[in-house]
Amino acid sequence: MNIILLGAPGAGKGTQAELICTHLSIPTISTGNIIRAALKSGTEMGLKAKSFMDEGKLVPDEVVIGIIKERLAEDDCANGFVLDGFPRTIPQAEALDAMGVVIDKVIDIEVPDENIVARMSGRRVCEKCGASYHLVYKKPENDGICNLCAGTLVQRKDDHPDTVMARLDVYHKETEPLKDYYSKQGKLAIVEGQEEIAETSALVLKEIEA
Ligand code: ADP
Ligand code: ZN
């Protein structure tokens, strides 16, 4: 099954993506994580992307489209995948269609804007492996330490309130039109993001099994 997760930054796409990939034994492909990894290892692409990311702007379409093309060609994608954070613009969605990639389902996780900023302020990520946590909704077993690799949990630079507002703006302008795009293809399912992660997960799994 080939799945796209849509939703505002902080809507919980990453968390739900992890759940789906465990459930269906398929990989999650997060363009955000791929770019952050490139940045950390200092590749040219990573350096190019940094300024856009830090300001809450989108990395240019041709860069992310290139990333996705390469990643989807890998063997582990043969039985399906979950896309988390791609596509984020209409040209990105068109590029995916042009590649001949058939998407089965697009799940949009809806969270009101007023809840997003509060959610984002509690978000923490593992410096080492990129796993995500939340001070309220998804606490690590030990404060400040990753459950998976014992790495240090930090706040992402682009999760600071000012940048979050910019990202929300970009989301409404550039990404939200994708709802219409996939609705016209008959693939869109909308899930209301709940306070409890497990409740959202139940709704997401219901859509996948529908
Ligand atoms: P979130 O889902 O919380 O917004 P991500 O980790 O998916 O965060 O993305 C972080 C940043 O990485 C974005 O603000 C953007 O700069 C860049 N990025 C990730 N995916 C894309 C994409 N598909 N197109 C353009 N930029 C992207
Ligand atoms: Zn970790």
Question: How far are the Cα atoms of 32, 53, 109, 156, 193 from residue 112, in angstroms, in the given order?
Answer: 22, 23, 10, 21, 9
Radius of gyration from C-alpha coordinates of the chain: 16
Q: What is the pLDDT of residues 37-63, one digit of tens each?
A: 999 899 998 998 998 998 999 999 999
**Cβ 159 vs Cβ 123: under 8 Å:** yes
Q: Catalytic one among 36, 71, 119, 123?
A: 123
Q: What is the pLDDT of residue 210?
A: 84
In a domain, 107, yes or no: yes
In a domain, 10, yes or no: yes
Rounded Cα–Cα distance for residues 108 and 135 (Å): 24
**Active-site residue 167, yes or no?**
yes
**Active-site residue 119, yes or no?**
no
Compute the distance from residue 97 Cα to the ligand 1 centre, in Å.
Answer: 20
Residues 115, 17, 138: CA angle, nearest 5 degrees: 50
Q: What is the pLDDT of residues 3-17, one digit of tens each?
A: 999 999 989 899 899
In a domain, 65, yes or no: no
pLDDT tier at 154, thresholds 50, 70, 90: very high
Question: How far are the Cα atoms of 3, 11, 47, 53, 86 from residue 38, in angstroms, in the given order?
Answer: 24, 24, 8, 12, 17
Q: What is the CATH number of the domain that holds 195?
A: 3.40.50.300
In a domain, 201, yes or no: yes
Strands 28-30, 188-192: parallel, antiparallel or unpaired by DSSP? unpaired
The answer, yes or no, to whether residue 25 has pLDDT greater than 90, is yes
Q: Is 35 in the pocket of ligand 1 (CB under 6 A)?
A: yes
The answer, yes or no, to whether residue 130 has pLDDT greater than 90, is no
Q: What is the pLDDT of residue 118?
A: 84
In a domain, 53, yes or no: no
Question: How far are the Cα atoms of 58, 68, 135, 182 from residue 89, in angstroms, in the given order?
Answer: 9, 14, 30, 12
In a domain, 94, yes or no: yes
In a domain, 203, yes or no: yes
Domain that holds residue 8: 2-26+79-112+169-209
Q: What is the pLDDT of residues 171-196, one digit of tens each?
A: 999 999 999 999 999 999 999 999 88
Q: What is the pLDDT of residue 13?
A: 92
The answer, yes or no, to whether residue 119 has pLDDT greater than 90, is no
User: How many structural domains comprise the chain?
Assistant: 1
The answer, yes or no, to whether residue 157 has pLDDT greater than 90, is no
**Cβ 102 vs Cβ 95: under 8 Å:** no
The answer, yes or no, to whether residue 98 has pLDDT greater than 90, is yes
Q: What is the pLDDT of residue 169?
A: 95
Cα 69 vs. chain centroid, distance in angstroms? 17
In a domain, 103, yes or no: yes
Helix axes 61-72, 31-40, angle to 10 degrees: 100
